[in-house]
Amino acid sequence: MHPTIADIRKDYTLEDLSETEVDPNPFIQFKQWFEQALSAQLPEPNAMTIATAMPDGKPSARMVLLKDFDERGFVFFTNYNSRKGQELAENPQAALVFWWAELERQVRIIGHVEKVSETESDKYFYSRPENSRLGAWASHQSEAIASREVLEQNLQKLQHQYENQEIPRPSHWGGLRVIPIEIEFWQGRPSRLHDRLLYTRLDAQTWKIQRLSP
């Protein structure tokens, strides 16, 4: 007999998470965990859920890829005319979630969102493979289309148009930075008594650390 969904469970036993061991700077703590995810050779450790809100308050979430982070925040790139781009233009608040199952870890981030500089967007865009750059032009992200062939035809036209030419970055495509006010580190523990440490920003340089009940 196959187990029901309710029967699926796992006890988490790999690590613990202590206030005395984490770095007082959440960006340094994230860097340590991210480097451990890289060392563990997890599939796409930079994959993250980003949740936004529609104008009527309905939530909207999808997976994107983290492309940079530092003490200014967490950066991803997108079409600004996409659904998430439009939602963030109207309500520049977002939540991020990283889930590293093999390490029994989760990171949750809440913050304000702003566009990165034109220079930052250019730098990343021109580092992308040629067809990825063309894809930013070929796809009117989040708009309904008649068929897959529409995308393929758009790409073929652009390949011909920009043959032996530099592909410019579209003005509607670039980076967004989530500037956190909260960062929570979650480590799975036995009996569902997980470790949760929440960093809350007090000012530009200071964070408060609290343990949350699982």
Contacts of 30 (CB under 8 A, 6+ apart): 69, 107, 183, 185
Q: Token digits for 77?
A: 């790139």
Helix intervals (H) in the chain: 26-39, 83-90, 118-125, 130-138, 148-161
Amino acid at 4: T
Residues recognised as catalytic: 192
CB atoms within 10 A of CB 164: 4
Tokens of 1: 């007999």
The DSSP string of 157-177 is HHHHHTTTS--PPPTTEEEEE
Sort residue 164 into left (φ over 0), alpha (ψ -120 to 50) or beta. Answer: left
User: Among 8, 22, 5, which Cα is nearest to 187's?
Assistant: 22
